[in-house]
Structure 1
Amino acid sequence: MKSPSHEQVEITAATDPPLPTEFAHDLSSGELHGRAIQQQEHNRTYWQTLRSDPKLLFWIGVMLWTMGVRGFENQAGGSVISITEFKRRFGQPEPSEPGEYFIATSWQSAISGSGNAFTILGATLASYFVDWFGYKKVVLATTALNLGSVGIEFGTTSVGMFFAGKMVNCIAVGSYLNLVTAYVSEISPLAIRASVIGFCNLSQCIGPFIASIMSYYTAQWDNDWSWRALICAQWGFSVVGLAGQIFMPESPVYLVRKGKMTEARAVLGRLYSDPRDADGHLERIKLTLEGEPNASGGFMDCFRGTDRRRTLVSIFVFLAESMSGLGFVGNYGALMYQYLGISDRRSFLIGIGAQILSMSGATLAFFVSDFYGRRTMFLWGCISVTTLLLCMGISGSVNTNAATLASVGFYTMFNFFYNFGLGSGVYAIAGEIPTFVLRNKSLAIAMNSSNAVNVMWSFVCPYIFNPGYGNLKARIGFVFGAIMALWSVAAYYIVPETRGRTYEELDELFVNEVPTRQFKNYVTVAERRAAEAYSAEKKGMDV
């Protein structure tokens, strides 16, 4: 690990002796304070951090609110094409059932499958534009795109027009996913970092819950507002978010990267209550950027040197989303309930209950992720989801009413266990692992990998579980359960513990190629320097 003011110092064991006290004398006052701030971050407890800088938490909240659009759009888009009035206006007559209408299968496949592809496009474009224009401008442009695309959906006169509006909206959604996760990762305090990054997952659970309740009532209306109400409700998320985005501070990391130190200091002054903290965090960011491996910020850099391992870890954890069957549960939940003999109305109510379980799991993860660690949560999540899916497959193999009810229960409980163990951890790990320079690109690659696999599953799953084809029904749990069993084993060797690590420490751990299972207890040069600087500053050392 290369420090901006010192030769490279290699450490190979957690038992290395402390740095000599003369170390602090060699530092400039700025670097001394920057390293002392790193130790201050280590020293602050979870609750102290929550109380110390309310302005910082407010701006994190503004960005997390923005993420709610993604979950609402996903749920609302799927619900709209199943609403009777929408099918009557834009669908075709059902030959076998006079008076009934349906949306052509080709359009259904396009609407459900193509959204992931356009989300990939949005995340990729955002990762480029943010390097040129910064977070604030790109977020505002994304919100404008979202507002306009919802307008297209709202005023649609054909299925094709609805499809076009939805795909443009998916570009905005992909952009939000990348920008919000990266922005929150960069400005979050150390003690609560996993909680606030993991809130990206909770934000996406709230949207579907609201959309499910709305569609339950609006679907019964006998006019166009039965589907238009769902669409225009997205403006509520966007307009409220826009009110905060107009005034949001730019990422101080972006400003330091561009050499705009005065602007970066002014932004930090808006985020931190104590001016000394703002000064120290400016130095901390400079130290981290100067010590990172050289990279131009392109996609290929994500697969060079030590960044290759970091990118592969991010891809691996994000693939847990698609490999666990999350896309299947989200897209085909109502259909699965019907195949298990549950009525339409009852399956819809169970779906609302499933959304409550999702929010409960994500909320619980929000409170415990910073206490038990990311690796522990992710491993537990993989194992619990594996067990649940295999149980669903077993109950689905038994042809009794009790077994059917058990399958419904396991299938519904997936929402809780996934969001508690995996959903929040995925964002926390993938948000923390990359370097400052490559964070947006690495996140785009990881998110796009997951979305690409979800596109595959969206076309494959119907052939696996539908009658007339694979006809697995609940036995599809064996498929995803077997995959997640492999994921559980691989995670033990791949996913490191990042809890309590500053970004400079993480850089050092990867540069020194520390084995995955040693991340938790490995003592870095950066943390020893931080402890020495903090001690020297406390003693009022004359440097």
Structure 2
Amino acid sequence: MSGKSEDEQIEVAVPAPHAGAAAADAKTSTELAEMRGRAIQQQEHDRGYWLTLRSDPRLLLWIGVMLWTIGVRGFEAQAGGAIISITHFKQRFGEIDVEGNYFIATKWMSALSGGGNAFMIVGSTIASYILDYTGFRYLILATTLLNIASVGIEFGTTSIDMFFAGKMVNCIAIGAYQSLCTTYVADISPLAIRASVIGFCNLSQCIGPFIAAIMTNYTAKWDNDWSWRALICAQWGFAGVAFIGQLFMPESPVHLVRKGRYEAARKALGRMYTKPEDADGHLERIKLTLAEAAAEASRTEAARGGGTSYLDCFRGTNLRRTYICIFVFVAEAMSGLGFVGSYGSLMYQYLGISDEKSFHYLIGAQVLSVSGAALAFFVTDFYGRRPMFLFGCVSITVLLLCMAISGSVDTYSATTASVGFYTMFNFVYNFGLGSGVYAIAGELPTSILRGKTLAISISSSNAANTMWSFVCPYIFNPGYGNLKAKIGFIFGAIMAFWSVIAFYIVPETRGRTYEEIDELFMNKVPTRQFKSFVTVAEQRASEAYTAEKKEMNMTDV
């Protein structure tokens, strides 16, 4: 029996006089919040490229912290490939051939490059799994500390085995950076510049190799351990600056909303957007987007208790998203990027370029990489993701086949042409394919599975790069396949196949909010209709924006 009197029990049972009015007010408040969320979606549609860049500098600052962080991946890849071609490193840790020249054994070349890619898979997979529980900020801080410690192992190495161990630990951190930074940037990027900003992840990884190439040109001439150690300790510069920025960066509002921490998400958005009303509107927009994603997830039994598994990426309409993301990311490896990035200096040397000049060519190649990625930053959001990716696949196919054909002719002119085509690869790849890969794979996954889908996609690319890292030295090295520039026949044929498949499966998502992209996949819209299909979310956003404008005008009057 309850301890209350009968009168008290009756009083509790009777609703308050204004309960119905309160419920009505709550409903109105909910409807207004949804209208604000949809209106902000239309505002995102209407804002131009340059206005968006000027509107919220703090948002760009936090994006910049992530872009700087991921830059270490490109630096490490270039520095790692350059170190094994530096004379003093070869003398310290290599072997000597019958002619008295020092070299790094092919098995170690394969292990350093292939093993690094394998451990990047480990880092990316672990990070995306932990992300659901810890969020971005603390996880990426821990990753940076791991990066700093591993560089210390490489710097103090006394054997090739110790160098290998340090590099593998470093690659775990770098693999985590790849998925974490790309996911964070994709979560918070404004619609009008989203492809450019996500594609900047590629540009960041081009700036690192450019710096590494310039350093190598100078340090490789030093006749002591600093000729290669300077390249290693430079990574502390990337990590130190990144760590300072990460200490102050706000948590991803998408992660906070997923966890039901709406007030924390509001505060995080307040640190990103200049106008408070924009921050509030984006909070409602995120709620709408996650509600759409959760509705689709419930059909496939995903998002149980707010958590997700890797299997969810292969259920329902997420399967289509995942295989497209895997396809575009694996294009990196299949285009020969890992080969060019890891063995650039050696390839020049095998084509008859002196050691000193090979480093000069390497700097030129990295200038072209940065130029191509920078140009893509300005045009991707204007021309779209699909045209840029298709252009990249086709142009790389032609370039590689031209390199292989000229490499089949044993004349000075033909060799010069091969060097030119090999160098131009850096511009063509980063303009058409490199930036497009990140833009497409960053946009297509549903918001609740973005981290895991990117981890799967990046891991697939790293797995393919691992395979090529072990195989390529045996294909182009003298004493084995000795194909040299003719390796272009292999990668060119693969990219011809990739170009055809891309035409049928890679959709256009330019100008689409994440909610609209969810709806397109839920409705199973054919690939070539993505650009023209009119979504319900698009119509509702336009109606809400018009209604809000009318209400504001009436208030002003």
2:65 aligns to what? 62
Counterpart Cα distance in 1 of 2:105 and 2:362: 24
Q: Which has the higher helix share?
A: 2
Mark the CA change 1:400 to 1:87 in structure 2 (over 3 Å): closer, same or farther: closer
Q: What one-letter code is carried by the residue in structure 2 that aligns with 1:287? A: L
1:517 aligns to what? 528
2:224 maps to 1:223: yes
Q: What one-letter code is carried by the residue in structure 2 that aligns with 1:36? A: A
2:34 maps to 1:31: yes
* Correspondence 1:329-368 to 2 at 5 A: 329-368=340-379
2:383 maps to 1:372: yes
The alpha carbon displacement at 1:462 in A equals 2.6
Write the deviation string for residues 340-389 of structure 1: whole angstroms up to 9, x where unpaired: 22222222211110010000000000010000000010011111111111
Mark the CA change 1:282 to 1:407 in structure 2 (over 3 Å): closer, same or farther: same
Counterpart Cα distance in 2 of 1:427 and 1:347: 30
Runs of 4 or more consecutive aligned structure 1 residues displaced over 6 Å after TM superposition: 24-27
Q: What one-letter code is carried by the residue in structure 2 that aligns with 1:315? A: I
Greater shift, 398-407 or 495-504, is seen at: 398-407
Counterpart Cα distance in 2 of 1:120 and 1:393: 31
Write the deviation string for residues 77-109 of structure 1: whole angstroms up to 9, x where unpaired: 2222333333333344x25345x5444443332
- Match of residue 338, structure 2, among 327, 330, 334: 327
2:336 maps to 1:317: no
The alpha carbon displacement at 1:228 in A equals 1.6
Does the 8 Å CA contact 2:110/2:473 hold for their aligned counterparts?
A: no
2:98 aligns to what? 96
Counterpart Cα distance in 1 of 2:480 and 2:83: 27
1:528 aligns to what? 539
The alpha carbon displacement at 1:459 in A equals 1.9
Counterpart Cα distance in 2 of 1:34 and 1:418: 38
1:165 aligns to what? 166
- Give % identity: 73
Greater shift, 391-400 or 529-538, is seen at: 391-400
Q: What one-letter code is carried by the residue in structure 2 that aligns with 1:222? A: D
Mark the CA change 1:183 to 1:108 in structure 2 (over 3 Å): closer, same or farther: same
Mark the CA change 1:465 to 1:154 in structure 2 (over 3 Å): closer, same or farther: closer
1:132 aligns to what? 133
Q: What one-letter code is carried by the residue in structure 2 that aligns with 1:311? A: T
Counterpart Cα distance in 1 of 2:64 and 2:537: 30
2:3 aligns to what? none
Counterpart Cα distance in 2 of 1:326 and 1:422: 10
3-state SS in 2 of match to 1:493: helix
Q: What one-letter code is carried by the residue in structure 1 that aligns with 2:290? A: L
Greater shift, 351-360 or 468-477, is seen at: 468-477
3-state SS in 1 of match to 2:271: helix
Write the deviation string for residues 446-488 of structure 1: whole angstroms up to 9, x where unpaired: 1111111111111222333334443332222121111111111
Larger radius of gyration: 2
Counterpart Cα distance in 1 of 2:99 and 2:352: 21
Counterpart Cα distance in 2 of 1:291 and 1:305: 14
The alpha carbon displacement at 1:27 in A equals 6.8
2:265 maps to 1:254: no
* Correspondence 1:250-329 to 2 at 5 A: 250-292=251-293, 293-294=296-297, 295-296=302-303, 297-329=308-340
The alpha carbon displacement at 1:158 in A equals 1.8
Mark the CA change 1:82 to 1:399 in structure 2 (over 3 Å): closer, same or farther: closer
1:452 aligns to what? 463
Counterpart Cα distance in 2 of 1:528 and 1:376: 26
3-state SS in 2 of match to 1:539: helix
1:505 aligns to what? 516
Q: What one-letter code is carried by the residue in structure 1 that aligns with 2:532? A: N
Counterpart Cα distance in 2 of 1:212 and 1:101: 22
Counterpart Cα distance in 2 of 1:95 and 1:305: 57
The alpha carbon displacement at 1:227 in A equals 1.7
Q: What one-letter code is carried by the residue in structure 1 that aligns with 2:98? A: S
The alpha carbon displacement at 1:251 in A equals 0.1
Q: What one-letter code is carried by the residue in structure 1 that aligns with 2:93? A: F
The alpha carbon displacement at 1:26 in A equals 11
3-state SS in 1 of match to 2:501: helix
Counterpart Cα distance in 1 of 2:224 and 2:335: 39
1:430 aligns to what? 441
Counterpart Cα distance in 2 of 1:485 and 1:107: 32
Does the 8 Å CA contact 2:121/2:459 hold for their aligned counterparts?
A: yes
- Match of residue 85, structure 1, among 72, 88, 91: 88
Write the deviation string for residues 485-514 of structure 1: whole angstroms up to 9, x where unpaired: 111111111000010000000000000000
Counterpart Cα distance in 1 of 2:381 and 2:443: 13
1:116 aligns to what? 117
1:76 aligns to what? 79
2:107 aligns to what? 106
Does the 8 Å CA contact 2:111/2:470 hold for their aligned counterparts?
A: no
Unmatched 5+ stretches in structure 1: 1-23
The alpha carbon displacement at 1:198 in A equals 0.5
Q: What one-letter code is carried by the residue in structure 1 that aligns with 2:39? A: A
* Correspondence 1:357-506 to 2 at 5 A: 357-506=368-517
1:48 aligns to what? 51
Aligned length, in residue pairs: 518
Unmatched 5+ stretches in structure 2: 1-26
Write the deviation string for residues 423-467 of structure 1: whole angstroms up to 9, x where unpaired: 000000000000111101100111111111111111222333334
1:8 aligns to what? none
Counterpart Cα distance in 1 of 2:421 and 2:28: 61
Q: What one-letter code is carried by the residue in structure 1 that aligns with 2:341? A: G
2:21 aligns to what? none
Q: What one-letter code is carried by the residue in structure 2 that aligns with 1:401? A: Y
Give the root-mean-square deviation of aligned CA atoms. Answer: 1.7
Q: With structure 2 as the length reference, what TM-score do the two structures score?
A: 0.90
Q: What one-letter code is carried by the residue in structure 1 that aligns with 2:170? A: N
